[in-house]
Structure 1
């Protein structure tokens, strides 16, 4: 964004505002000094004050803050992309106590023509939301995406965005939904394989390139799928991952296969049939994901894996290192680690790496 037509060296404030799902209006602001030509270019100019303090053309988007409440427990919640595929951000320019200009921008998370379908156990044998690219899009790699300990179908926006880029994507729930385990305990790995086969069968999907994407606890089944089903899963993306199988909630086992518990401990990675991207925040306070990322790459190196793999560890970022960029969040919850700037940079730099992996998988 650029603001022109100002007086040279004039001081202006550029503000942003957007309404979250709960009705709260979040605000960002940044004060700038115009250059000799009366121009402020937000992508090259550092604000003198505001909700962010670095040169960042998208700072007004991710730095928005909630109006009230505990910012450590608040985040800019979106309505579901099936019903509300976009949201508005109002930008205002003020100086000397009066508004000079305003413009309303639209952030689109689900492109026109992208379709979605709710999957049910009764009809599909899995629970989730399927997002498919607009008709006529050439076949692309498909992405099976799932979250972690939050349960439910938690990564719909990631799925909608990926489908908007042409990649058929299934946002999968694996516990905490009717008919599924109530908690993360004794979840069959075969359930994920069923979802992957359903996704691969879509006409817009390239069935030879199905990618598993898991966040936090979801990294475990993503890696296990790639290891145990190399003919079905052809690449992995994991955020804030573990390199181990951890115990289920309340003790016991998290995952099963062939009706037997999958033992806790290190996940072997000697049968992968595609690329791997592991992303972690250096300041993850929830668990040692940077250590796990290094263990994953060391395991692949020891296995002499012939496919490309990459580990990205972002300084200043915590457990909230992903996924897509520029979405506002409150001050980072101390239990997750990291800081707002670190997380924002990680998302801005990490998301293109995910898209590059998918583009290279064709």
Structure 2
């Protein structure tokens, strides 16, 4: 368990080819105020930066701001008030914010606290080719800008290849690290297509296929076929640079029960990361080899809770997979031979992921199995993502088309994201190890 974690951990190096641009003050300003991003103003999306201001008056109070625009054109902003030290310097790693979007020492607070002016907005940054561009600025109390700098937060590292895949029933994007390999293979399952997590994992040395659970409008999907996802697994295993015998699967939400089903029914799944998912097949029946293998777990919408903000809590509307009448919806995880990393957030308001995790653990133990690890994050919400993106407490639900509350206390949630991101990499590398003596496939 964790409560809060140091957001400064896990600093990686982007590339020796990156040109460092540390100081970018406004050229027209007569002042000597400078705003620096260390170690570089260009980095990977999941890398921390150190924000420093110099040249202020002793003990001067200023406001630091961050602004970014997402792929849908929505503008997100954050601000925090700081007091310079006696030498006129501010170090966000060291100094506390006095007020604003967050309070206290939060080294990456300007990034994760950004939000839109209207409620229930999720920051869409799902395409890998374009960086997440954030403008940082420092302002006097009267509002005049003293300095600014642009932070380019790249999703794809140098040498990583991105190839759209349209092969059979597969509609996804393949990311491959630079070099000859061999590399372990990972299937990244999102409810709807997103490249962010997949390409960030490719930066770490994995061949990753980003795949959506839904390629059509959810209302048009009356049943699902596990064969389509098995096809993606076989596609990954055939990639020239793949050296792991089995494939890993990383998933969250609806992708979680598909990942469990792959592990239970399809050979070759060696590791599954299940994040705030269900222990049962949600929504529509699941078929494999032309036979129905799991009935759908449904919802009782009379149990939805409407909040004053207009968002709804749907956690209590999902039928309980633990009761007898729903036993045919539960994934038989005891059939799986691979390893599981089960991750549940205490404040997940989408569904009761902690109860589902406990159900799977109990089921595995009942069958004499110990092929699992668990992580439980108190006060974190449903949307656990790679670190340093804007925290999202509520947004439109992609399957239900109304606003829902995801849950989570901001600073606690983002600390959990950082801890989990490092744990995911460790888990996948441990259970998808490659034989380096094997030559890459031709």
TM-score of the superposed pair, with normalisation by structure 1: 0.86
Q: Deviations over 1:14-68 (max 9, x none)?
A: 111112122233211111122344332212322111112242211111111214x
Name the structure 2 match of 1:130: 174
Q: Does the 8 Å CA contact 1:325/1:348 hold for their aligned counterparts?
A: yes
Q: Write the distance in 2 (CA, Å) between the matches of 1:33 and 1:75.
A: 31
**Residue 225 of structure 1: which of 241, 262, 270 is its match?**
262
Whether 2:430 is the aligned partner of 1:360: answer yes
* Counterpart-to-counterpart distance in 2, 1:355 and 1:303: 28
Kindly indicate whether residue 364 of structure 2 is the aligned counterpart of residue 300 of structure 1.
yes
Structure 1 residues 24, 247: CA separation in 2 closer, same or farther (over 3 Å shift)? closer
Q: How many residues align?
A: 340
Larger C-alpha radius of gyration, 1 or 2?
A: 2
**1:175–1:96 Cα change, 3 Å:** closer
CA distance in 1, matches of 2:148, 2:375: 38
* C-alpha distance 183-356 of structure 1, shift in aligned 2 (>3 A): farther
Stretches of structure 1 that go unaligned for 5 or more consecutive residues are none
When residues 46 and 332 of structure 1 are mapped into structure 2, their CA distance, relative to the original with a 3 A threshold, is farther
Q: Deviations over 1:198-224 (max 9, x none)?
A: 011112222314101121111111011
Match in the other structure for 1:33: 83
Inter-partner Cα distance in structure 1 for 2:406 and 2:220: 21
The 1:54–1:281 alpha-carbon spacing in structure 2 relative to 1, beyond 3 Å, is farther
Which consecutive unaligned segments of at least 5 residues does structure 2 have? Answer: 1-50, 295-327, 396-403, 434-442
User: For residues 209 and 73 of structure 2, what CA distance do their matches in structure 1 show?
Assistant: 28
1:4-153 aligned within 5 A: 4-67=54-117, 69=118, 71-72=119-120, 74-78=121-125, 80-81=127-128, 84-97=129-142, 98-120=144-166, 123-134=167-178, 136-148=179-191, 152=192
TM-score, structure 2 as length reference: 0.71
CA deviation vs aligned residue, 1:249-270 (integer Å, no higher than 9, x gap): xxxx2x1112111233332223
Q: Distance in 1 between matches of 2:96 and 2:112?
A: 16
DSSP 3-state at the match of 2:428: helix
| 1:184 shift after superposition | 4.4
Match of residue 345, structure 1, among 398, 415, 420? 415
Q: Give the direction of change, closer, same or farther, for the CA distance of 1:206–1:182 in structure 2 (3 Å limit).
A: farther
**Alpha carbons of structure 1 residues 260 and 164: separation in structure 2 relative to 1, 3 Å:** same
Partner residue, 1:287: 351
2:281 paired residue number? 245
1:261 aligns with 2:292: yes
Q: CA separation of 1:182/1:195 partners in 2, compared to 1, >3 Å: closer, same or farther?
A: farther
Match of 2:377 in 1: 314
- Give the stretch that moved more between structures: 234-243 or 298-307: 298-307
Identify the residue that residue 155 of structure 1 maps to in structure 2: 194
The answer to whether the Cα contact below 8 Å between 1:175 and 1:183 also exists between their aligned partners in 2 is no
Q: Does 1:325 align with 2:362?
A: no
CA-to-aligned-CA distance 1:180-202 (integer Å, 9 cap, x gap): x8644421112111100101111
**1-structure distance, mates of 2:360, 2:54:** 49
